[in-house]
Structure 1
């Protein structure tokens, strides 16, 4: 009986708990404790009641006072309110509930604050109940805005409940000590192949070493880390060339990690661009007035061709808050708002464009957000952006989720978050997408003739679950001198062979010779590598629409113009089993014509080659006719006939064994050899 009586007494005490004041009656002889507590509360109130309130500065003082008296309703409410405005918002709930338990009338805002605390902890139904009891704070002039806010938060809870019931299958792992520190680390951007990550940090050791007087934390600096196996190398500060004594934050990185967008506080918030020169980033340069305005430009992302940006700005004329625009970097036209399919009456932020050039990720307070900013995905198809799709729980939370980026493969995403396994503050996390779960198969046998004593059975395989992959190919490698093996800072042109147009140009790294090119599916690409003093090198990638993600490593050796040097012309195409040139060959033929024009003494042998499939005599004749077709084209464009010869070698000069389909394709080629210069 005694234990039941004790439980009743405890419940009665809890139900009638009263707030304990900071007074002599509470502290008795502990005068020093009371003095310390009141001093801490006074210091906290100075920050809490400032304009604007400084919640993060007030919180440590309130927590010290709370150690001396945890039963004060007003103090618990202030602690909860401070946590609601911190990076650890879910911690607010326990303090707000304690404040309400001690004094249900502690503050007119209590039901709204309880709703926020429950909302941020994913307690959707309980949060909705509190929101429905919320009333405007004393002195609120615009009650209609408060009502709209409550309605929006109720809708967010409904969205959260639906999304949490069907979670996205992912692993979310801390990126580790190479990237993260005990200080805030956020805003990750990555190269398309995940070999490089740049991010913003407010850690000790920042450039200038000073702290922001408003926030109390160190000024932002840009850091870089490189992939080493399964982990990241120790991050390094990019130094005074990139980072100033003020705030510097990275917001965008080109797929090849050779160009970076940096946010600076100039002019209310502008975007600068830095280029990688060898192993060193050059000083960021301000982008033009069409990109930076008197408004706040907070985020941007490169298109794969490097010619345009997706831009976030709160410039006048938007749909509400910050909007996403598209703008050409070196063009003349104005930035174009993406319109109401993407932009809402609320805020949009943290835009990122996948290397496929058509899949956009961004954060929004609108659409089907479950609270604050959620990360959404939209695809550009048939001339318009698709309806944004919420990435779901647990990627998105009731708090702000922004600045998400994803690898070219679509396998890994990166963003920053406050989590229990963090290293002390906001950390960067890697998201691994697992794809849809394979449905269970309860029986894999179909009893076709069940009436028989020994039924005939057919084994049924579980239907395969499609794994979504990005429709993009990453071509990467190094460019070197064929003789010296030293890196060459060559230009890599990406050509649409069907249109004979150069759609993008990149540079190999001056120090390493490394390059990376992103090739969205659906185009017959010609890749042309050129550098003054060398013969051009060409590659062909014909990627049909819908081609799945792949990574191709291609090291390229550029050859100097010497007698006897051979160069394969990978972008010359013939009709099947014929010697008629296809129109996709025009670009390669034009480059060969330009080479002959620029070097008047140059003499070439054009040769055709086949694999060993079929009749040898026929193959030799076909290869000769194809070589002659190239010569005839060049002569028709004004090249002197006595500078050119042609030959067909059939299958007699293979460059690879004719044992695989890929090798046979290599052997079917057109090439030229320098015979004089």
Structure 2
């Protein structure tokens, strides 16, 4: 890449040499020749110094101005490149076609889109351009057209600095936040060393940031580009040049273990290769990992890839997200929102305002199967500018975006800000369930298994163990869908619950205290995820997951015998309700027996409306009374 950069810098000089352009001022020509020698060794500062001296000695030394513009442009100093290129055109408007390309690219990257548009078209009008030159110039013209329109139609953008708890005189960037917005992890650069820090929110303010972990941060290697699972328990990050690395940069993972972070481990192949893998983003269910790679099989430059977790815990062969997301240029900084459908990323390949812009795309579905991605949508001006925008993350409720920028009034260098995301750019509505599991009698915190299932397709959206220190878990859920929760631990009765998050109540998360009861005679479990057709005893498909949990419980506890109990509300006559409740209990009994649970271990009984949990004064109460449960009869 560096060799290519050098060649690009030298290209105008080579062409000019063929035209035998030189300075009549001997000392100016000497400085020009010396600058070219410095360029051959990539000593750009010294080359700039010599060329600057050359144009002082000869104010009409067109070739020296051209070379200055090329070096400034290739090293990212577009403002100075502009001055040099304009001077070339003042002296000789037809001196060199590439002058107009260099000028236009510099104008694009300083936000002067109208002039850039004209100068790109001027360059495109010259005959003999290569196909590659035409392609890139046409792409830049599209950027200019988009930018001029975007500036006329700005989006709402009011960034708010997250304050002194997080930001300092150092550089802070790459923020990621947990689903409950109570903890943020970010990168802080001090003396060129990057480390992870965290801050927790107390009374709406971010507390002073703390060093994340000696297990993760190092002095010898570079860590960065991290993401965190919605519950805050898994940290994926990029580690470079580490002894256990497979390539220059690899993806690593660390787990929160109650009192600290585990030693990170390399997730290995096929995700990591001898090449470069970085910038991970994990889906809310922990089963899809999005990342950036330069591996073969892509569309050019940096591409975004996805790997899915296999049933044995290994990562599957990564798939490129395809031309709906990736371009011949660079796509980076992927962030998959907890809705598992909205992807945010940066790109300099799709039409934008210059350098890298922030984009979003949504999954396309047919019959609930993903068929692709929608065309990426630029987040708009002034969220995007002629500078580089990247590293965006979004809160689980979709309202706030977090990013880093260097703005006036900050604490120094890059600071972390939040802003309210425009409605059109927001992901699907997501809420979360947060629970604490403990022993019902002793109140002891329990490390229990928690599983949350999408009841429609039976797929797990969360499957993990509670924090061993706090007994807590947190999982996100999309509004408008139904989910079943199951909490279990050896020696205890399991806990069952279901949720259907309401779009209108999405800002009210589900906060649960879950007391688990030890397996004792008389112990009772309400099977909240067993469903029947209204007024009938046919099991609905959504009941399968709960029934499988019950079957698993019986197999893990072979000495236990249970009674299946059916209950109704008081709508209808008492005799009919008793018959319906018994038929429903019998249906569950039959399902268990058909799945090889001994009939000697199960009985069933219908109780009708005689044992309500609540009075029947409201629909919610009647719903609670219509239930299936099981009771331990022998242990």
TM-score range, shorter chain: 0.7 to 0.9
> How far apart in 2 are the matches of 1:482 and 1:79?
74
1:294 and 2:294 are equivalent in the alignment: no
1:352 and 2:335 are equivalent in the alignment: yes
**CA shift digits 1:308-334 (9 cap, x unpaired):** 211210112321101111212445742
> How far apart in 2 are the matches of 1:151 and 1:302?
35
* Aligned-pair CA distance for 1:469: 6.1
What SS is found at the alignment partner of 1:200?
Answer: strand
1:248 and 2:220 are equivalent in the alignment: no
> How far apart in 2 are the matches of 1:580 and 1:427?
58
Out of 413, 421, 431, the residue aligned to residue 419 of structure 2 is 431
Out of 265, 269, 283, the residue aligned to residue 285 of structure 1 is 265
Out of 262, 271, 285, the residue aligned to residue 237 of structure 2 is 262
> How far apart in 1 are the matches of 2:393 and 2:103?
33
8 A contact 1:222–1:250 mirrored in 2: no
1:481 and 2:481 are equivalent in the alignment: no
Q: Which range is displaced more, 392-401 or 480-489?
A: 480-489
C-alpha spacing 1:407/1:332, structure 2 compared with 1 (3 Å)? closer
C-alpha spacing 1:79/1:365, structure 2 compared with 1 (3 Å)? closer
> Pairwise CA RMSD of aligned residues?
4.0
C-alpha spacing 1:167/1:238, structure 2 compared with 1 (3 Å)? same
Question: Aligned residues, how many?
Answer: 569
* Aligned-pair CA distance for 1:218: 2.1
Out of 268, 271, 274, the residue aligned to residue 254 of structure 2 is 274
> How far apart in 1 are the matches of 2:40 and 2:545?
67
8 A contact 1:198–1:250 mirrored in 2: no
Out of 394, 409, 431, the residue aligned to residue 421 of structure 1 is 409
* Aligned-pair CA distance for 1:366: 0.7
Q: Which residue of 2 aligns with 1:209?
A: none
* Aligned-pair CA distance for 1:430: 0.8
1:123 and 2:112 are equivalent in the alignment: yes
> How far apart in 2 are the matches of 1:488 and 1:403?
37
8 A contact 1:298–1:312 mirrored in 2: yes
8 A contact 2:44–2:71 mirrored in 1: no
C-alpha spacing 1:434/1:486, structure 2 compared with 1 (3 Å)? farther
* Aligned-pair CA distance for 1:247: 1.3
Q: Which range is displaced more, 593-602 or 357-366?
A: 593-602
1:539 and 2:497 are equivalent in the alignment: yes
Q: Which residue of 1 aligns with 2:517?
A: 559
Q: Which residue of 1 aligns with 2:321?
A: 338
Q: Which range is displaced more, 284-293 or 228-237?
A: 228-237
Out of 287, 311, 329, the residue aligned to residue 307 of structure 1 is 287
C-alpha spacing 1:407/1:52, structure 2 compared with 1 (3 Å)? farther
* Aligned-pair CA distance for 1:336: 1.4
**CA shift digits 1:554-598 (9 cap, x unpaired):** 332222112332211111111211223233323322322332333
Q: What is the TM-score with the length of structure 1 in the denominator?
A: 0.74
> How far apart in 1 are the matches of 2:435 and 2:340?
21
Q: Which residue of 2 aligns with 1:393?
A: 381
- 1:76-155 superposed matches below 5 A: 93=79, 115=104, 118-129=107-118, 149-155=136-142
**CA shift digits 1:224-283 (9 cap, x unpaired):** 122224332221111320011121114222222211111111231111111111141111
Out of 196, 204, 219, the residue aligned to residue 193 of structure 2 is 219
What SS is found at the alignment partner of 2:532?
Answer: coil
> How far apart in 1 are the matches of 2:293 and 2:447?
35
> How far apart in 2 are the matches of 1:669 and 1:52?
76
What SS is found at the alignment partner of 1:607?
Answer: strand
Q: What is the TM-score with the length of structure 2 in the denominator?
A: 0.78
> How far apart in 2 are the matches of 1:291 and 1:194?
29
What SS is found at the alignment partner of 1:567?
Answer: strand
C-alpha spacing 1:58/1:52, structure 2 compared with 1 (3 Å)? closer
* Aligned-pair CA distance for 1:199: 1.3
**CA shift digits 1:121-155 (9 cap, x unpaired):** 533214445656789xxxxxx98766655544333
C-alpha spacing 1:639/1:335, structure 2 compared with 1 (3 Å)? closer
**CA shift digits 1:476-518 (9 cap, x unpaired):** 2222222232332222123344555556512222212221222
Out of 159, 167, 177, the residue aligned to residue 164 of structure 2 is 177
Q: Which residue of 2 aligns with 1:230?
A: 204
> How far apart in 2 are the matches of 1:288 and 1:491?
26
* Aligned-pair CA distance for 1:530: 1.4
Q: Which residue of 2 aligns with 1:370?
A: 353
